[in-house]
């Protein structure tokens, strides 16, 4: 009895024949895992770049706080 769970997707990539021949030389390497990890790392990097862009955008929109202003706000809230 087979229980099929579709949690993985299949993608196809095209690579030069020379690269494919070099890959065949190293049959002990799990090339699917190598490619999967490379894709995950690339996505992690892109997500970090996107987060930095969003932070920069927010910083441009927010008015800077004057020196000492934050301390003043904290003291005012402690009194309440």
Locate the domains of the chain by residue range: 25-79
Given a cut of 70, the residues of the chain with pLDDT beneath it are 1-6, 80
Predicted confidence at residue 80, as pLDDT, reads 62
pTM: 0.66
Per-residue pLDDT at 2: 57
Which pLDDT value is given to residue 76?
Answer: 85
What is the three-state SS of the chain? Answer: CCCCCCCCCCCCCCCCHHHHHHHHHCCCCCHHHHHHHHHHHHHHHHHHHHHHHHHHHHHHHCCCCCCCHHHHHHHHHHHC
Question: Residue 3's pLDDT is what?
Answer: 59
């Amino acid at each position: 009895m087979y229980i099929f769970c579709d949690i993985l997707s299949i993608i196809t990539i095209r690579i030069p024949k020379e690269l494919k021949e070099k890959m065949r030389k190293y049959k002990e390497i799990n090339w699917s895992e190598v490619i999967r990890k490379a894709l995950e790392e690339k996505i992690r990097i892109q997500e970090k770049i996107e987060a930095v862009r969003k932070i920069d955008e927010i910083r441009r929109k927010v008015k800077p706080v004057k020196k000492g202003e934050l301390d003043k706000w904290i003291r005012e809230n402690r009194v309440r």
